[in-house]
Amino acid sequence: MLRDHQKNNKYYEPRVAAIGPFHHGSKPKYEQAEKIKLQLAVNFVKDSAQNEADLLKKVENKIKDLRECYAEEATKKYDDDSLTWMLFVDGCSMLEFIYKYEMLESFEIKRDQVAFAEHDMFLLENQLPYQLLELLMISSTKYEDVKDSIERFVQMHGVAPEPQRGAQNTQPIKHVHIPMEPKPTHLLEYLLTRMLGYPPIGRSGQMPSDASEEEPPQPGAGGARNTQLRAIHFLDNLLTKMQEYIRRKKRETSANHPQSFRNVQELQAAGIRFRQSKEPSVLKDIYFKSFLCCGFLYLPKIKVDDSMGPKFMNLIAYEMCPDFQNDFGVTSYIGFLDSLIDYADDVKHLRKSHILRNFLGSDDEVAKLFNEIGTDLVPNTAIYYDVKRKIEDHYKTNWKKWMAQFFHEHFSSPWTILAFIGVLLGLGMTAAQTWYAANSGTAPCEALLEYLKDRGY
């Protein structure tokens, strides 16, 4: 459905590396990456103190299950031997890439190639089954180290990554370690769970506690989790049905949840200020507080760079997979931000509030990006319902808007505030002097002189 827009193809196609069967050998530009993957795979096997034949045999023994993870049309041209070798090389090279992230120069990989490869590792059609990675890690003598490096690598690609957090950083992980049971289906789902702040979902129909009261259609829900990777080809299927569903849901949402405010500038004019939320790396940590005529909307930090568009578009695409039962957390987050961001000035205000970090270019480019990726989304209306309701209540309270506009027009700088305080002090002193003069026969200055004279001064 999302591929209906030709301009969106750039978000789903690998730049330098084809991982797995979907894009393998499809374009000459991926040939250089195949050579580098072989080097990385050889190094992983060597560091693991394992025999290459033994590791390959373990993958071969599981090839039937691994094949089931993909759509039949993606693997039908590969026999078991060629598919085993492909997954073995791709799995070993991916683990070595993540584990040796800070030392990739030793493999003569340029920094721009590293950045593009990272981009490719979080594409929906470039995923490897996590059970494959787990099989290779367990067979390695450095299992715990590799597992921790994956955790750091995923955190490093979150919505607001911390600076200088390499995948092979030997420092302990400071973030709360969320239990990984059940294990993620692949690396993209691993990232999804970290961004939303809860363990993987979608098994046995279990949902987080704040799940939507009304669920979008889930064709095939309840089936084996392996079918989720097969559902990857939904990008080229179900176009008509999904478009009809989107149009219907948008009409229902507009009717049931009318929203009079539009963007950051309008909220700011109504006295609403923007602050960082308490959990800056969790997308769902959005809440609203009101105090007198002022309102405060708390949002998680977000880093906007070249990787943000593809990353979020592929996360949204994964949430829309028919077999993946979920609460559309990322889709809803992007939809919420898209409702706040229309113009460059909206981005500018979020940037000045230290919520948005712009590494993309101009504020206008960021606004266009959000407007582009926010097209044709069906958010879960239950996730931010309370937040939107509180904002709407504040926005529709006229006296709060009037007070906010008054303060904005007359006290927009520190100097006007100081001048106002000075006027108040002057009026207070004048009133006190007038009252004293009216209630005593002696002027204040004369009374002070008499007092000092009595004391011998």
Confidence at residue 291, expressed as pLDDT on a 0 to 100 scale: 80
Closest CA to 125 of 234, 12, 224, 37: 12
- What does the alpha-carbon distance between residue 205 and residue 280 come to, in Å, rounded to a whole number? 28
In this prediction, residue 163 has a pLDDT band, given cuts at 50, 70 and 90, of low
Q: Are residues 14 and 69 in the same domain?
A: yes
In this prediction, residue 419 has a pLDDT band, given cuts at 50, 70 and 90, of low
- What does the alpha-carbon distance between residue 255 and residue 103 come to, in Å, rounded to a whole number? 55
pLDDT of 264 higher than 60: yes
Confidence at residue 395, expressed as pLDDT on a 0 to 100 scale: 80
Closest CA to 378 of 256, 242, 255, 261: 242
Is residue 206 situated within a structural domain? no
pLDDT of 3 higher than 70: no
Q: Are residues 95 and 56 in the same domain?
A: yes
| 355 close to 276: Cβ distance less than 8 angstroms | yes
In this prediction, residue 165 has a pLDDT band, given cuts at 50, 70 and 90, of very low
How many Å separate Cα 164 from the centre of its chain?
Answer: 19
Is residue 221 situated within a structural domain? no
Confidence at residue 141, expressed as pLDDT on a 0 to 100 scale: 86
Q: Are residues 265 and 375 in the same domain?
A: yes
Q: Are residues 32 and 128 in the same domain?
A: yes
Is residue 225 situated within a structural domain? no
Confidence at residue 223, expressed as pLDDT on a 0 to 100 scale: 38
Q: Which two tokens stand for residue 163?
A: 């600076």
- What does the alpha-carbon distance between residue 122 and residue 308 come to, in Å, rounded to a whole number? 11
Q: Are residues 405 and 417 in the same domain?
A: no
- What does the alpha-carbon distance between residue 204 and residue 363 come to, in Å, rounded to a whole number? 43
| 84 close to 63: Cβ distance less than 8 angstroms | yes
DSSP letter string, 15-43: SS---SSSSTTSSGGGHHHHHHHHHHHHH
Q: Are residues 275 and 310 in the same domain?
A: yes
- What does the alpha-carbon distance between residue 74 and residue 104 come to, in Å, rounded to a whole number? 30
Place of tokens 């700011």: 268
- What does the alpha-carbon distance between residue 55 and residue 52 come to, in Å, rounded to a whole number? 5
pLDDT of 115 higher than 80: yes
Confidence at residue 249, expressed as pLDDT on a 0 to 100 scale: 52
Is residue 230 situated within a structural domain? no
In this prediction, residue 448 has a pLDDT band, given cuts at 50, 70 and 90, of low
Confidence at residue 428, expressed as pLDDT on a 0 to 100 scale: 79
pLDDT tens-digit series, residues 198-255: 664 443 333 333 433 333 333 333 334 454 555 444 454 444 445 455 555 554 554 4
Of 30-39, 361-370, 424-433, the poorest mean pLDDT is in 424-433
Q: Are residues 420 and 370 in the same domain?
A: no
Q: Are residues 178 and 303 in the same domain?
A: no
Confidence at residue 191, expressed as pLDDT on a 0 to 100 scale: 96
pLDDT tens-digit series, residues 11-29: 999 999 999 999 999 899 9
Of 33-42, 46-55, 163-172, the poorest mean pLDDT is in 163-172
Q: Are residues 282 and 306 in the same domain?
A: yes
The sign of the CA dihedral 217, 222, 223, 228 is positive
pLDDT of 454 higher than 50: yes
Q: Are residues 393 and 417 in the same domain?
A: no
Q: Which two tokens stand for residue 185?
A: 């289906």
Of 30-34, 146-150, 181-185, 320-324, the poorest mean pLDDT is in 181-185
pLDDT of 171 higher than 80: no
Query: Cα 376–187–60 angle (5° rounding)?
Result: 125
pLDDT of 89 higher than 80: yes
Is residue 231 situated within a structural domain? no
Is residue 250 situated within a structural domain? yes
pLDDT of 376 higher than 90: no
- Domain end point (choices 200, 229, 251): 200
Confidence at residue 30, expressed as pLDDT on a 0 to 100 scale: 96
In this prediction, residue 93 has a pLDDT band, given cuts at 50, 70 and 90, of very high
Q: Count of domains in the chain?
A: 3
Q: Residue 419 is part of which domain span?
A: 413-454
Provide φ and ψ at 287, rounded to 5°.
Answer: -150, 165
Q: Are residues 395 and 429 in the same domain?
A: no
Is residue 116 situated within a structural domain? yes
* Maximum CA extent, the chain: 112
Q: Are residues 313 and 164 in the same domain?
A: no
